[in-house]
Amino acid sequence: MTIAELSPLPLAHLRRGKVREVYIVDDDRLLLVATDRVSAFDVVMREPIPHKGAVLTQITAWWLRQLTGGVAHHMLSADTDEIVEAVPSLADHRAALAGRAMLCRRTTVFPVECVVRGYLSGSAWKEYSATMTLAGESLPPDLRESERLDPPLFSPATKAEMGHDQNITMAQMSTMVGPRIADELERLSRLIYTRGRTIAAERGIIIADTKFEFGRDRDGRITLIDEVLTPDSSRFWPAEHYQPGRGQPSFDKQPLRDYLDAERRAGRWNGESPPPPLPPEVVAATSARYLDAFRRITGTELAADGASQ
Ligand SMILES: Nc1ncnc2c1ncn2[C@@H]1O[C@H](COP(=O)(O)OP(=O)(O)OP(=O)(O)O)[C@@H](O)[C@H]1O
Ligand SMILES: [Mg+2]
């Protein structure tokens, strides 16, 4: 089943993101549901991308199972049968949720995006090429676009409701959450990214940068939440095409971006909502890329009903 819009679930709806819907199960638990919506250039497309939601949820679940050493995380289950068993009112929605839902421990979210950059790209490259800084702090001279950074940079940002997140310094982050928490979120972010980057690289994917979120659970534990090391929260590059000194193709969204760029150049799209309709071959190519990301990272096929094996 391909899904852009979920039919209403018998749960209180907490939040609608560009891609995910968040529901309240009870005081202690949330249900995160990844739809098949895709966004590019900050615009959500009309056409769903088959399997994308299940790919995102099951990649997160896979990473969380790899990361059990030393990192508390929010996942209770990403197995739809288990979720329906735990929340019986979802029984009629089993098919719509298959593979794409994650039952999570509910936390109080720290209001910072914990960005880790292992390669110089995107807004970081833009700032660096203008001023040789990142969030105002100096970096070594002579770095090239897409250059690998060792050690990776921790570059926190504020969570913006609208528009782009704003980079902040460690000093600003410390003021927001306290110095002890700021240090711990940095330590955890670097640890998870570094483990993830190594595992992904062995499988032909460069995770250039990524964003983590953390919350505090009801026992006060700092907990990794949200999606983890997915193509939507990270820049994935195909390792076989990596070449520093230029921008890199996106592992998952390149066919979509190329199509939208061509529409823009031809004057058929102004870059804003509503987006142009996507031809079926662009939808199919994008879906294939997401499935390939799942296959490369986990070494398994996404199961037919969207569950991971
Ligand atoms: N365990 C958790 N406890 C509390 N909040 C959580 C938890 N896990 C995730 N969240 C929150 O759920 C929300 C997910 O929705 P979000 O709006 O980010 O969706 P999205 O599909 O990523 O869209 P966008 O692209 O607009 O960010 C985030 O605000 C995140 O902080
Ligand atoms: Mg989000």
- Summarize pLDDT for 98-122 with one digit per residue, the tens: 999 999 999 999 999 999 999 999 9
- The secondary element (H helix, E strand) that includes residue 280 is helix 280-298
**pTM here?**
0.96
φ, ψ of residue 190 to 5 degrees: the values are: -65, -40
Residue 163 has pLDDT above 70, yes or no: no
pLDDT at residue 301, as a whole number: 96
CA-nearest residue, atom 10 of ligand 1:
226
* Residues 248 and 242 sit within 8 Å (Cβ to Cβ): yes
Mutate to test the pocket of ligand 1, among 21, 225, 228 (most ligand atoms within 8 A of CB): 225
Mean pLDDT of the chain: 94
- pLDDT bucket at 305, cuts 50 / 70 / 90: low
- Walk across the sheet containing 12-16 and list its strands: 12-16, 20-26, 29-34, 101-105, 75-77
In the beta sheet, which residues pair with residue 215? 109, 223
Q: Nearest CA to 113 among 153, 159, 173?
A: 159
pLDDT tens-digit map of 9-39: 999 999 999 999 999 999 999 999 999 999 9
Lowest-pLDDT range, 29-43, 163-177, 260-274? 163-177
Burial class (CB in 10 A: 0-12, 13-18, 19+), 29: middle
Grade residue 152 by pLDDT with cuts at 50, 70 and 90. very high
The SS3 of residue 31 is strand
**Residue to mutate (ligand 1; options 164, 213, 223; most atoms within 8 A of CB):** 213
Q: Does position 309 have pLDDT exceeding 60, yes or no?
A: no
| Residue percentage of the chain with pLDDT more than 70 | 97
Calculate how far, in angstroms, residue 226's C-alpha sits from the geometric centre of ligand 1: 6
Lowest mean pLDDT among 14-23, 135-144, 229-238: 135-144
Q: ∠ CA(36), CA(38), CA(39), 5° rounding?
A: 160
Which amino acid residue places its CA nearest to atom 15 of ligand 1?
Answer: 17
